[in-house]
Amino acid sequence: MTKKTSLSSKLYTALVFIFLYAPIAVLILFSFNSGKSTSVFEGFSLYWYKELFNDAATLDAFKNSMIVAVASSIIATVMGTAAATAIFGYKNKLLKSSIMTVTNIPMMNPEIVTGISMMLLFVFVGSLFGKTGTLGFGTLIIAHTTFELPYVILNVLPKLRQTDPHLSEAAQDLGCTPFQAFFKVVLPAIMPGIISGLMMAFTLSVDDFIISYFVSGTSSQTLPIRIFSMTKRRVTPDMYALSTLIFLAILVLLVVSNLVSAHGDKKLSKKGGAKK
């Protein structure tokens, strides 16, 4: 590549990244604002961070988010992994493709439609039993599990395709029952896919607003819903402080996991080198 194009591509990249990070920079900046404004910076202070930790409703919402995310991602991972193994094993092509089509629906459908469709189901079933307050933790967890499932399945399926089809047979050959063979051999082999599915499910759950918005009751506000109700009015910078903390936590997590995997690669290549 010539110098000129390389320079323009660098400039272009820089511009896109400025666009992506400008709002985040603004957000972080104003989280340290001593004033209440989110557009005029009055001076540096940690006041809003202190406010944040005194805000019981927000902390409560955070706790709710965690409960829903943990519960739904575990259910989705267990059920999704079992489903992926089953789908992988199905010989019937029609059955296989129809299951995959249904699996794709929550990913293709607009979230708002998914959200209201589940809300309608819950309200309808509730009305059958003459209840009104059906929406709550239960419905949140069901809804989150539903939209997380496709991601778990799509993470596990490729791993199953990559593993040696005779792995389970080899274990049975050495004395495992089919059940033991799955847990001792197949499961460890597809574990990376399961873990990434679990992580994806967890983050999608923590991040979800639209679907939660329709299926949560008043007692089960998650963090995004809390943020939504706050942004309805004038937002105070404690929300900014909160997202700055979340941002930092994710940044650290990503950097660490990148370092760990890079370290692992290095170790592996060292081993490979020693062999020769």
Footprint of another protein on 6-45 (CB under 8 A) = 9, 12-13, 16-17, 19-24, 26-27, 30, 38-40
Contact flag: residue 66 with another protein (CB under 8 A): no
Q: How far apart are CA 193 and CA 80, in angstroms?
A: 11
- Shorter beta-carbon distance to another protein: residue 47 or 226: 226
- Shorter beta-carbon distance to another protein: residue 158 or 188: 188
Instruction: Please report, as residue ranges, which positions from 98 to 127 form the binding site for another protein (by CB under 8 A).
Output: 99, 102-103, 105-106, 108-114, 116-121, 123-124
- Shorter beta-carbon distance to another protein: residue 67 or 88: 88
Instruction: Count the residues of the shown chain that bind another protein, applying the rule CB under 8 A.
Output: 101
Q: What angle do CA 242, 236, 23 make, to 5 degrees?
A: 65
Member of 45, 196, 203, 236 binding another protein (CB under 8 A): 203
Contact range with another protein by CB under 8 A, out of 43-51, 128-136, 169-177, 194-202: 169-177
| Closest approach of another protein to the CB of residue 130, in Å | 15
Q: How far apart are CA 212 and CA 216, in angstroms?
A: 6
Alpha-carbon distances, residue 113 vs 98, 133, 138 (angstroms): 21, 21, 20
Structure tokens at 14: 């820089």
Member of 59, 189, 217, 236 binding another protein (CB under 8 A): 189
Residues near 181 by beta carbon (within 8 Å), at least 6 away in sequence: 168, 169, 171, 172
Residue 159 CA, distance from chain mean position: 19
Q: Facing residues of 33 across strands?
A: 44
Q: What angle do CA 87, 92, 97 make, to 5 degrees?
A: 60
- Shorter beta-carbon distance to another protein: residue 57 or 268: 268
| Closest approach of another protein to the CB of residue 46, in Å | 19
Contact flag: residue 128 with another protein (CB under 8 A): no
Member of 185, 200, 201, 211 binding another protein (CB under 8 A): 185
Q: How far apart are CA 229 and CA 219, in angstroms?
A: 14
Contact flag: residue 82 with another protein (CB under 8 A): yes
Amino acid identity of residue 199, one-letter, is: M
Three-state SS at 44: strand
The contact pattern for another protein, residues 228-257, with x = CB under 8 A and - = no contact, is: x--x---x---xx--x--xx--xx--x---
Structure tokens at 18: 């400025």
Residues near 75 by beta carbon (within 8 Å), at least 6 away in sequence: 141, 145
- Shorter beta-carbon distance to another protein: residue 56 or 275: 275
Q: How far apart are CA 220 and CA 102, in angstroms?
A: 29
Member of 93, 130, 175, 233 binding another protein (CB under 8 A): 175
- Shorter beta-carbon distance to another protein: residue 47 or 72: 72
Member of 168, 205, 216, 220 binding another protein (CB under 8 A): 168
